[in-house]
């Protein structure tokens, strides 16, 4: 790696709170929480990211652990690092850390991420990582595996989770995630209802 991790870069990554080791799952394993929305994809090179992980994160993962990756509000243009970066980071993980990684809880996956992993996951992530991936569509399902009071979840993640309860089709990419008034009738008049019925 040609770059070095400067104090400013280290401070930036720590301040953004992208990576945090805190809490345990119900099998007693440490949790590495990763918040995708906070990832500064435009401001961080893959070398700097790998250096940070090597220096600050990997040394703390000497025993079996799980990852909770929160995908809520990740945007391809803003905070998604790209396939080549993901592959580079994965390749840079020390063998003992890969062996200690037992489960990846992927919270709030969208349709694109599911299709991506279904298509390319087995080829990009060797060594069985794809088989350790568990999609978690709701926080309530995450709490079946992770101790709720041991892991911090940002408010925007909780709010998105509530949105999904009202609009479950967002899980499948059928409905957009723009704000909408809940509880409003889908059709305002009986004429509209009749017309819809005729069409179907």
Give 25's DSSP letter. Answer: B
Q: What pLDDT sits at residue 190?
A: 43
Q: What pLDDT sits at residue 171?
A: 53
The two tokens of residue 176 are 């957009």
Tell me how far CA of residue 73 lies from CA of 33, 35, 82, 146, 160, in angstroms: 16, 10, 16, 21, 8
pLDDT tens per residue across all 200 residues of the chain: 456 778 888 888 888 889 999 999 999 999 999 998 988 877 778 888 899 999 999 999 989 999 999 999 888 777 777 777 778 888 888 999 999 999 999 999 888 888 888 887 777 776 677 889 999 999 999 999 999 888 899 999 999 999 888 776 555 544 444 444 444 444 444 444 443 344 44
Burial classification of residue 199, based on how many CB atoms lie within 10 Å of its CB (0-12 exposed, 13-18 middle, 19 or more buried):
exposed
pTM as predicted: 0.78
Nearest residue to 143 via CA among 131, 132, 153: 153
Q: CA–CA separation, 134 vs 130, rounded Å? A: 9
Tell me how far CA of residue 100 lies from CA of 22, 85, 174, in angstroms: 16, 22, 37
The two tokens of residue 183 are 């509880």
Q: What pLDDT sits at residue 3?
A: 63
Residue 142 sits at φ, ψ, to 5 deg, of -65, -40
Q: Are the C-beta atoms of 65 and 101 separated by less than 8 Å?
A: yes
Q: Are the C-beta atoms of 139 and 153 separated by less than 8 Å?
A: yes
Q: What pLDDT sits at residue 169?
A: 58
């Amino acid at each position: 790696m040609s770059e070095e991790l400067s104090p400013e870069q280290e401070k930036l990554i720590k301040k953004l709170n992208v990576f945090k080791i805190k809490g345990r799952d119900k099998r007693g394993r440490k949790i590495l929480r990763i918040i995708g929305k906070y990832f500064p994809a435009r401001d961080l090179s893959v070398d700097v990211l790998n250096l940070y992980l090597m220096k600050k994160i990997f040394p703390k993962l000497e025993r079996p652990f799980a990852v909770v990756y929160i995908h809520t509000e990740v945007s391809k243009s803003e905070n998604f690092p790209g396939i080549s970066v993901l592959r580079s980071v994965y390749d840079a993980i020390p063998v003992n850390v890969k062996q200690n990684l037992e489960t990846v809880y992927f919270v709030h996956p969208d349709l694109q991420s599911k299709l991506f992993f279904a298509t390319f996951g087995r080829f990009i992530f060797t060594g069985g990582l794809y088989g350790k991936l568990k999609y978690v569509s709701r926080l309530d399902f995450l709490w079946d595996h992770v101790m709720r009071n041991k892991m911090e979840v940002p408010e925007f993640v909780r709010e998105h989770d509530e949105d999904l309860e009202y609009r479950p089709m967002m899980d499948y990419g059928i409905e957009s995630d723009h704000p909408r008034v809940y509880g409003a009738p889908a059709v305002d008049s009986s004429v509209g209802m009749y017309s819809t019925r005729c069409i179907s």
